[in-house]
Structure 1
Amino acid sequence: MLGLDHLVIRCVDLGTMQRFYCDLIGCELVRHNENFDLYHLRAGAQLIDLIAVDGFLGKRGGAAPGAEGKNLDHFAIRIADFDEVALHAWVSENDLEIVEEGERFGADGAGPSIYLRDPEGNIIELKGPPDA
């Protein structure tokens, strides 16, 4: 394992959250994906992504953060090698389920990803390098 790639936070007020993380915490806005109303903020070598609770991606998490809804959409772990055949075999051997897969943008750029659930239902993205 190389470390975390990015975190995605569901927000009720994107503007306030973006200003907080950039102006107060010191993150840098590196990209705004207008199709998904998604802000990619640089936090050192990693990214913090902000999405609207009522937006396309945010709606997947249910209600606004609170007793009935989760605030964290998923977190990504950057892996060194992305061997799709070996990863699918590992998933099968460990009786896991791939929730989603495809090319996604992360801290090192666009690259392959697979999404799994942990034992409590949290979504983990295994993120490969851009050149995989």
Structure 2
Amino acid sequence: MEISGIDHVVVRVADLGRAIHFYCEVLGCKLEWRRDDLALAHLRVGKLFIDLLAGQPLPEGPGRNMDHLCLTVRDFDLAQVRDHLKQHGVEIGTAGERFGASGWGQSLYITDPDGNGLELRG
């Protein structure tokens, strides 16, 4: 057996509408399917999904259910990404050259409105 990639990641959120707005309007994901009967939204990110799951209490404490989700950004320009995030009131964490599935690349850390860690990388 060989793992070849990520199919989806499930992120627990407090407010589904607020989370959809953040991931789609701020980060550029595309809403593929919203299932209000399950308090679930499937967001398209290239060939992959991020599933947002609401309707259940969020775990308390640091880290919650996930350390961070790393999203690749096409034509990554650190200054442009920072400007875009600042325009949306997103607090920006540390930036630097980091190693990931596609090798070394520039990245920076942020959090979504529910405190879930995100890494955006080129």
With the length of structure 1 as denominator, give the TM-score of the two structures. Answer: 0.46
Q: Pick the structure with greater CA Rg.
A: 1
Which has the larger strand fraction? 1
With the length of structure 2 as denominator, give the TM-score of the two structures. Answer: 0.50
